[in-house]
Structure 1
Amino acid sequence: MTETARPTPAQPADPHPDDHPENHPDDHPEDAQQAEHEEEFRIRFPGGDTRLTAGRSISTSTMLRRLPQLIRRALHLAWIADRRSTVLLLLAQAASGVFGALALYATTGTLAALLRPGPVAGHLRDAAPSLAVLTASAALRAVLGITVLTLSGKVAPRINREADMALIEAGCSAELAAYDEPQYGERWEAADRGASTTPDLLTSAQDVIASTVSLLAATGVLATLHPLLVPFLLLGSVPTGIAALRTARIHYLAAITTGDERQALRIYRWYLIDKGRADQVRSDQVLPFMLDKYRKAEARVVAVTDRAGREAARVSLVAALGTGAGSALMWGALLYLVSSGRIGLAAAGSATFALRTAAGGVQGMVGNGARLYRMGLYLDDYFTFLDEAGGHRIARGSIVPGPPRTIEVTGLTYTYPGEQQEPALRGIDLTLTQGEVVAVIGQNGSGKSTFLKLLSGLYLPQPGGGQIRWDGVPIGDLDADALFRQVARVPQEFARWPLQAAENVHLGQHDGDDPAPAVAAAASLTGFDETVARLRSGWRTLLAQGWQGGAELSGGGWQRGAVSRAFFRTARRPGLLILDEPTSDLDPRAEHRILHSLRALAPGRITLLVTHNLANARLADRVVVVDQGRIVQTGTWDELAHHEGLFRELLALQADRTVPAQRRSPTG
């Protein structure tokens, strides 16, 4: 799971481009000029970035206290992913430690037998049992090592899969408004990094366990040889441990402080390689300009990481000097014990092996523990995101709505996050009734798309920003999933799912019955059935160009499919049907077919139609005209067409096809 594998869920494309007239630089030339060198990708965390604060407060003692918790967390993830393999993994680790201790004790017996005075043949006979134990222990440890490696390789991908699915589920459980918050994308990315560490988390955790078992076995042997050797063992490892933990902190803080730049790199990269903009990247020759921005952001990341690397190197150098001094003291103590006759040569030989094993165990604990701790910092971001969905988990009421008979909007005002934002909606009052078709008309940036998202419950009214009630119940008191089940919508930027043609219509929304008849019925209302009939495998055709067997549709074909999807959904649960420019890519015949189908579907549901083709609004029972976030006119098409106002002005402009001057013929 690499950073280039997927775009951030906070998509770089503006999710509501029509609702921000204040964002156009031409409207505020002085502000745009002032911000030219100031406004780059910067993530604002209200109250500050708590991860940065926490990272700076990390101490060595805090890290040491957290290691057992991280090991438990890693084993818990492994337990969820594969219980049987996790149990076998722990048993194999424990058995490996036991055989390691037996090998050390057998080394003592072997050396004692070989170093005694007397014939060599007799020494070998006496050493044979210890040699047998030593050989068997080494062989069994090798087999157990292979077993541990195999089990880790089996469990790690399962952990990653479970972590990834949990992260996706949490991300899809956030309010849609989260995508308008700059810090949400960064929290997702931090959680994504945490999820990507989960396979390595198990590996590091089991390495820490293995090193701990080896250390305990070696320490036990040293204690039986001479207790004085045990405290000297720590002298050669403590400096390395402290340094490893501090360098983990340094690198984590570097990753956090470069969050803005790394987010910018992902956005620049996504814009340059995304298929939807590939033609413009070439025709507009934007690559050199965007690569220059990319290099500048990358240079800031490199500067921080280089500085962190130098700081970590200084810490490691000091630790290496301390480790060398500690090792010298340890071996000096061993020589003293031998020279003073406190231990014999055989015991000294065993102590040498034990010291090397114990030192390796301590260094393994320290190195893997530091790596585990660093992963744990990212894992904290992951679990925090799961708990809070980036601070935006959907938490609404529990009332299950049916198809709304009336939707009442009172005093609705809505403003997107951002210091320079103006309200997208201002004091909207409107009542919608079942069976009614309402056309919503307005210029780009008038607030239409935002209004429809609020009506369908994708956004909630802000505190003090008015209210929306479904059959008298505030929309925030309704169960979110139950509300969404009552909504069928075609947004301007509809999804082009990489699924089979039939799946693109039903999206799994059926109760186990055969969805084919309902899919065919919905498609016949839009002409999508005719599009599918021309595909090689009909309804089974994969709509994913570039994949084996995949096919691509025209813009109009995809739009027919999107409208069919909404018709299929509303046929199952007549509630609220919203179509935002549903015929923008269609020819007149296909447009006529869909609009007549829309009129036929009107009974039993509330229907809203957004269209810039004012002639299409004739089919509506009522026309609502929105301008700069306000409803400025409402009435029937004929009423608005014959009264002064914005609707009549737009109608006249749409009908005006004159040119400023008569065009001359080529021979004129």
Structure 2
Amino acid sequence: MAQPATPAQPVAPAQPVAPAHLGRPGSDQQHEHNENLRFDLPGDNRAVAATSLSTGSMVRRLPHLVRRALGLAWKADRRSTAAVLVCQAISGILGAVVLAATAASLAGVMREGPVTEHLRQTAPALTVLTLSAGARALLGVVVAALSGRIAPRIARGAELALVEAGTQAELAAYNTPDFNDAWEAADRGAQTAPDLLADALDVIAAAVSFLAAAGIVATLDPLLFPALLLGSAPAGIAAVRTARIHYLAALATTDERRALRIYRWWAVDKLHADQVRASTVAPLLLSKYRAADQKIADATDTATRTAARVSALAALATGAGTALVWGTLLTIVATGRITVAAGLAATFALRTAASGLQGVVGTGARLYRVGLYLDDWANFLDQAGGARIRRGTRTPAAPTTIEVRDLTYTYPGTEAKTALHGVDLTLRQGEVIAIVGHNGSGKSTLTRLLTGLLLPEPGHGEVRWDGVPIEDLDADALWRRVAYTPQEFARWPLPAAENIHLAAPGTEPAGLQARVEEAAGAAAFDQVVAGLRSGWRTLLAQEWLGGHQLSGGEWQRAAVARSVYRSTQAPGLLVLDEPTSDLDPAAEHRILHAVRAMAKGRITVLVTHNLANTRLADRILVMSSGRVVQEGSYDALAADDDGLFRELLDFQLDRSVPTQRAAEDH
């Protein structure tokens, strides 16, 4: 999923569905066969919904969308939402009063007799007209102000609900393209949530205005109402058609729009800025950005031309419809069905009704389109991307044994990779177990299964904590017994102390600072903090104003200190995956001795490529191609000349120069 943005860091995009390669310079034929960034959301019905978008389907769905918008607003701010609805209702009543007062004023002025007498008789109607129009204007200001108060709350509520749903998904979901695409679509829906309220209120206002004016029109003469509907139909139908054209164009360029965000992120993100320059990769990324942008521009231009043709035809039809409306009105006046004064009043009412009807259809089409995006958001909340954490309720103690039986694990995706094959092992409390092997041998996958971050696939083995299947344990209770430092550890934008304890306000244990400092001492992080300008209160985030950035090795000390702290708070399983890869020898020595010293009362797993570090382990597991191929002590494995451990050890100890350089080459 996308990482939260900071002022200096653009949002990292979700992973593409299929393997994506940026491509390499070469022949045109090579470029034709390169894989490109592609996205596909199984079950995505937006294209189907868009192609079926019609005036009828839109009208049928509008009540549901309006209820959804008001439901979001009600949840965000009940009092303001209630006030908006009251104001809208009063405004609609006043609209009808304005039209009725207009009709009464015109009828009074156009009667035979002295003008002064007419004005005196119509004064009450004119007063009502003036006050009602002024009150409507004031209510419009109030509605706008209240909407401005509600909309940001809806946006924040939608985003918060999305984040909460994302954190409730199984980690395995992040390895599936379906989840990442569902998140991407849901995130777009969360961004459009405030628009739903604005469009819903516009639809309500337009509908109220139309109903008020239509009631006046029908009162003046029933023939005017069907003429009004026929006259306004072309513009309304055109609004729906053009909305469908533009929406389908947006769907057709979904890949390109997401690719733009990805190329932009890779080009300007701080993490890759040095490589963008040193590798002179900017021209390649920019060329791909321009190519995707051109496809979007072409699709947009085509949609604009098509929509313009539809609008032109609608304009011609609207002209004919307008002639029908006014022809009907003139005929009614000429035949004496209504007076000239009533005809003038009908003119105002017809204009208001036509504007209201077109507003309902035009804004309704926009509301329909926004509603499609919000469906993705709602579906993600309902299912957490189809991967909501649903496990048992048992609370584990610090495990005395963790058993792995016949465990096979395959990562999901378009190219499934089996990371583990029939692994069997038992880990015991008080042990330090080192895991070594080639890259991709399954070491990190195994640790994620031991910690419950990943669950065994049904029928493909099991992991048990003290005899209980890991899926039967309460997930949060389990993870409170886990201290885990992965290879790609988090660099939280928090003060130094919070980076270690990660305790939410109000949950800090007694003696917090002393415990933090003790853990920092074990990981040699105390030396780093001693050099910070504000000590433990220093913000560790260079991208923020006043923040401090640590080096890679300093951050690694912080990550290990974090795990040491967690493990002392609630001993259980301590997993350190390459915890010293960026450290100097002094810091590495300090950490390894601390790990050995705190082994009692917990199971400790150390994943490392530095085979010298495995000397501190009670037992070493050697993995290859997803299998445990050797197991034993350092001395025993080093003495096995035919074993993988000895092979890796020989490579690590061999620092000879393949061919001796001649003196003149020095």
TM above 0.5, yes or no, is yes
2:575 is the alignment partner of 1:571 = no
SS of residue paired to 1:118: coil
Which whole-Å deviations, capped at 9, do the CAs of 1:249-298 have from their partners, x for residues lacking one? 33333333333222222222211111111100000000111111222223
- Secondary structure at 1:160 match in 2: helix
1:436 aligns with one of 427, 431, 443? 431
Alignment partner of 1:552 is 2:549: yes
For 1:219 and 1:360, locate their aligned partners in 2 and report how far apart those are by CA, in whole Å: 11
5 Å matches for 1:487-498? 487-498=482-493
Distance 1:56 1:378 in 2: 15
CA distance in 2, matches of 1:314, 1:50: 27
Matches of residues 574-653 of structure 1 in structure 2 within 5 Å?
Answer: 574-644=571-641, 645-653=643-651
Which of 220, 226, 235 pairs up with 1:240?
A: 235
Map Cα deviations across residues 345-397 of structure 1 (whole Å, 9 max, x no partner).
11111111111111111111111111111100111111011111222222222
In structure 1, the residue corresponding to 2:418 is in which secondary structure? Answer: coil
1:229 corresponds to: 224
Classify the secondary structure of the residue corresponding to 2:456: coil
Alpha-carbon distance between aligned partners in 2 of 1:450 and 1:667, rounded to the nearest angstrom: 46
Asked if the contact 1:9/1:185 (under 8 Å) is kept, the reply is no
Question: What is aligned with 2:155?
Answer: 160
Does the CA contact (< 8 Å) of 2:3 and 2:13 recur in 1? no
Alignment of 1:58-77 (within 5 A): 58-77=53-72
Question: Cα 1:614–1:247, aligned 2, differ >3 Å: closer, same or farther?
Answer: same
Residues 248 and 373 in structure 1, CA contact (< 8 A), matched pair in contact too: no
Q: For 2:656, what is the secondary structure of its paired residue? A: coil
Distance 1:242 1:4, change over 3 A: farther
Aligned partner of residue 523 in structure 2, secondary structure: coil
Checking the alignment, whether the CA contact within 8 Å between 2:407 and 2:424 is kept in structure 1 is yes
Deviations 1:121-172 (A, max 9, x none): 2122112111111110111111111101100111100100100101111122
Query: Is the 8 Å Cα contact of residues 17 and 40 (structure 2) preserved in structure 1?
Result: no
Q: Which residue of 1 aligns with 2:250?
A: 255
Compared CA separation, residues 12 and 489, structure 1 to 2 (3 A): farther
Asked if structure 1 preserves the Cα contact closer than 8 Å seen for 2:53 and 2:240, the reply is: no
Letter in 2 for 1:132: T
Match for residue 445 of structure 2 among 450, 455, 463: 450
Alignment CA distance shift 1:617-1:513 (3 Å): same
Could you say if the C-alpha distance between residues 547 and 482 of structure 1 is closer, same or farther in structure 2, counting changes exceeding 3 Å?
same
The equivalent position to 1:501 in structure 2, one of 488, 496, 499, is 496
1:41 aligns with 2:45: no
SS in 2 for 1:73: helix
Q: 1:342, 1:435 → 2: CA distance?
A: 100
Post-superposition shift, 1:8?
5.2
Aligned partners of 1:486 and 1:573 also within 8 Å: yes
Structure 1 partner of 2:14? 10
Q: Where do 1:120-159 residues align within 5 Å?
A: 120-159=115-154
1-side partners of 2:17 and 2:268: how far apart? 14
Distance 1:605 1:536 in 2: 36
- The alpha carbon displacement at 1:11 in A equals 4.9
SS in 2 for 1:236: helix
- 2:555 counterpart SS class: helix
SS in 1 for 2:352: helix
Q: 1:415 to 1:602 in 2, by over 3 A?
A: same
SS of residue paired to 1:423? strand
Give the Å deviation of 1:499.
Answer: 0.8
Q: Does 1:511 pair with 2:513?
A: no
Instruction: Give, as a single letter, the amino acid of the residue that structure 2 aligns with 1:535.
Output: L
Letter in 2 for 1:659: V
Alignment of 1:133-212 (within 5 A): 133-212=128-207
Tell me the equivalent position of 1:28: none
Change (3 A) 1:376 1:591: same
- Percent of paired sites with the same residue: 61
Distance 2:206 2:269 in 1: 46
Residues 16 and 39 in structure 2, CA contact (< 8 A), matched pair in contact too? no
Could you tell me the TM-score, scaled by structure 2's length?
Answer: 0.93
Structure 1 partner of 2:399: 404
Deviation of 1:314 (Å): 3.1
Q: Distance in 2 between matches of 1:224 and 1:2?
A: 59
Counterpart amino acid of residue 627 in structure 2? R
Contact 1:107 1:130 (8 Å CA) reproduced: yes
Of the structure 1 ranges 277-286 and 551-560, higher mean CA displacement relative to structure 2 is found in 551-560
2:17–2:39: 8 Å Cα contact kept in structure 1? Answer: no
**Residues in 1 aligned to 2:305 and 2:664: alpha-carbon distance in whole angstroms:** 72
The residue type paired with residue 427 of structure 2 is L
- TM-score of the aligned structures, taking structure 1 as reference length: 0.93
* Aligned position for 2:351: 356
Query: Paired residue for 1:17?
Result: none
Which residue of the other structure, out of 387, 390, 404, is the alignment partner of 2:385? 390
Letter of the 2:37 partner, please give it.
F
Counterpart mapping for 1:519-558 below 5 A? 519-558=516-555
Inter-partner Cα distance in structure 1 for 2:481 and 2:3: 37
Cα RMSD after superposing both structures: 2.4
Deviation at 1:242, TM superposition (A): 2.3
Of the three residues 452, 455, 460, the one matched with 1:460 is 455
Alpha-carbon separation, structure 2, partners of 1:617 and 1:4: 39
Match of 2:26 in 1: none
List alignment gaps of at least 5 residues for structure 1. Answer: 15-19, 26-32
Are residues 479 and 577 of structure 1, via their aligned partners in 2, closer, same or farther at CA, if it must alter by over 3 Å? same
Question: Residue 29 of structure 1 corresponds to which residue in structure 2?
Answer: none
Match of 1:51 in 2: 46
For the Cα contact (< 8 Å) 1:8–1:189, is it kept in 2? no
Q: 1:657 aligns with which of 644, 655, 658?
A: 655
Which of 362, 369, 376 lines up with 1:367 in the alignment? 362
Q: Gaps (5+ residues) in structure 2?
A: 24-28
Secondary structure of 1:415's aligned partner: strand
CA distance in 1, matches of 2:280, 2:12: 25
Are the counterparts in 2 of residues 97 and 210 from structure 1 also a CA contact under 8 Å?
yes
Give me the whole-angstrom Cα distance separating, in 1, the residues matched to 2:238 and 2:413.
Answer: 42
What amino acid does structure 1 have at the position aligned with 2:384?
A
Q: How many residues of Structure 1 are paired with residues of Structure 2 in the alignment?
A: 652
The answer to whether the 8 Å contact 1:250/1:312 transfers is yes
Q: Is contact 1:574-1:605 (8 Å) kept?
A: yes
Alpha-carbon offset, residue 12 of structure 1: 7.2
Decide whether the 8 Å contact of 2:17 with 2:177 is kept in 1. Answer: no
